[in-house]
């Protein structure tokens, strides 16, 4: 009896399998953030369902099919910014299919990009940030913790998710820097100022931490000596757990009201303010890009638009023919 020869498995070729491969590519090779990958999936699943309903194969998609799909999505209705993201998702997906040899041509080459209205981020003035940071309630463990978090958030331009998840060994208070793992696990090192260093020291002293844990902030290991790692969260709430992003946001709103600031404020407003104030002070755009952890400098360039808006406003206000 002749031995049975196993037939090699044929890789799946359904549209959903190609989508899965594309999302894996974004996660493994391009190392995009989880939320970004979820957004791509949310954009492309309705697209594949639309093609299936019209019996259009991925290999047969043309510019007309893409335009019809985008036009149909306009009736959702979708904001112009959402349509822009959707068209970008289609571009990236079809570009991937062409590179992988699934399709001979990329039908998105002729796809027109929906226009978006550019929204400049909200920022606080230097005076408003100073008022926010100068607010000094009665010193308690709770208020000292929030004061330290607030000073660090503005000093380093952190995302709130980065702030609340910082381990205590991410801070070097002697040299004055914080090591941050941002979107896609990308590491960056950002300097911090003396105010933030002082606020963190005061907060940590209020916790009455042990000498071993204090090594991170006050002792430099001798040459050849292993440093003591401190993996627990830098900022802890009840039961030693990290503060959540939502809890920090609510606390920020209350802190701002107590400081006499009643305009729109959020953790990201402080990050925008950090970048804008650096550029207005003469910082190089690429240096700011590195500190913010932006992979593309075009993302950082939005803050130069804020400067131009301030220049135009000053021109209109003070020029004799403004």
> Has 268 been annotated as catalytic?
yes
Tell me, what's the pLDDT at 296?
75
Tell which wins on pLDDT, 173 or 320: 173
- Mean pLDDT within 253-270: 92
CATH fold of 15-110 reads: DNA polymerase; domain 1 (1.10.150)
The catalytic position among 91, 135, 245, 268 is 268
Q: What predicted TM-score, i.e. pTM, was given to this entire model?
A: 0.61
> Has 241 been annotated as catalytic?
no
Tell me, what's the pLDDT at 217?
41
The catalytic position among 40, 47, 154, 303 is 303
Q: φ, ψ for residue 171 (rounded to 5)?
A: -110, 130
> Has 303 been annotated as catalytic?
yes
pLDDT tens sequence across 111-149: 776 555 556 678 899 999 999 999 989 999 889 999 999
The catalytic position among 159, 204, 272, 277 is 159
Tell me, what's the pLDDT at 320?
60
> Has 271 been annotated as catalytic?
yes
The catalytic position among 91, 183, 198, 201 is 183
Q: How far apart are CA 300 and CA 102, in angstroms?
A: 35
Tell me, what's the pLDDT at 318?
63
Lowest pLDDT segment from 109-118, 153-162, 206-215: 206-215
Tell me, what's the pLDDT at 78?
61
> Has 220 been annotated as catalytic?
no
Which CATH code is given to the segment(s) 126-219+227-317?
1.10.443.10
Give residue limits of the domains in the chain: 15-110, 126-219+227-317
Tell me, what's the pLDDT at 219?
40
**Paired tokens of 76:** 């959702």
Q: How far apart are CA 87 and CA 80, in angstroms?
A: 11
Lowest pLDDT segment from 22-26, 203-207, 253-257: 203-207
SS3 assignment for 207-235: CCCCHHHHHHHHCCCCCCCCCCCCCCECC
Tell me, what's the pLDDT at 115?
57
Tell which wins on pLDDT, 316 or 322: 316
Question: How would you label 240-265 residue by residue, b for 16+ Cβ within 10 Å and e otherwise?
Answer: eebbeeeebeebbeebbeebebeeeb
Res 200 pLDDT > 70: yes
The catalytic position among 73, 94, 271, 272 is 271
> Has 135 been annotated as catalytic?
no
Q: Which band of pLDDT confidence, cut at 50, 70 and 90, is reported for residue 33?
A: confident
């Amino acid at each position: 009896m002749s031995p049975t020869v196993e037939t090699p498995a044929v890789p799946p070729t359904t549209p959903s399998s190609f989508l899965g491969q594309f999302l894996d590519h974004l996660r493994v090779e391009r190392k995009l953030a989880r939320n970004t990958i979820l957004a791509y999936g949310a954009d492309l699943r309705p697209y594949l369902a639309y093609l299936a309903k019209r019996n259009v194969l991925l290999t047969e998609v043309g510019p007309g099919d893409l335009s019809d799909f985008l036009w149909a999505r306009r009736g959702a209705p979708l904001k112009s910014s959402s349509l822009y993201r959707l068209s970008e998702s289609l571009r990236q997906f079809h570009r991937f299919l062409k590179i992988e040899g699934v399709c001979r041509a990329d039908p998105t080459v002729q796809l027109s990009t929906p226009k978006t209205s550019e929204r400049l981020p909200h920022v606080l003035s230097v005076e408003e940030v100073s008022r926010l940071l100068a607010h000094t309630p009665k010193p308690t463990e709770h208020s000292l913790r929030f004061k330290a978090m607030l000073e660090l958030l503005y000093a380093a331009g952190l995302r709130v998710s980065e702030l609340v998840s910082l381990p205590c060994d991410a801070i070097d208070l002697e040299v004055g820097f914080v090591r941050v793992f941002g979107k896609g696990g990308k590491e960056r090192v950002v300097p911090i100022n003396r105010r933030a260093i002082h606020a963190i020291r005061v907060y940590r002293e209020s916790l009455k931490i042990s000498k071993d844990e204090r090594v991170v902030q006050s002792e430099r290991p001798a040459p050849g000596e292993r440093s003591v790692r401190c993996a627990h969260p830098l900022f802890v709430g009840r039961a030693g757990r990290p503060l959540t992003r939502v809890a920090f946001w609510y606390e920020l709103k209350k802190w701002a009201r107590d400081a006499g600031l009643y305009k729109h404020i959020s953790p990201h407003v402080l990050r925008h303010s950090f970048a804008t104030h650096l550029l207005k002070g003469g910082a190089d755009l690429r240096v700011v890009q590195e500190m913010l952890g932006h992979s593309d400098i075009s993302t950082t360039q939005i803050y130069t638009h804020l400067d131009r808006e301030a220049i135009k406003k000053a021109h209109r206000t003070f020029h004799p023919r403004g």
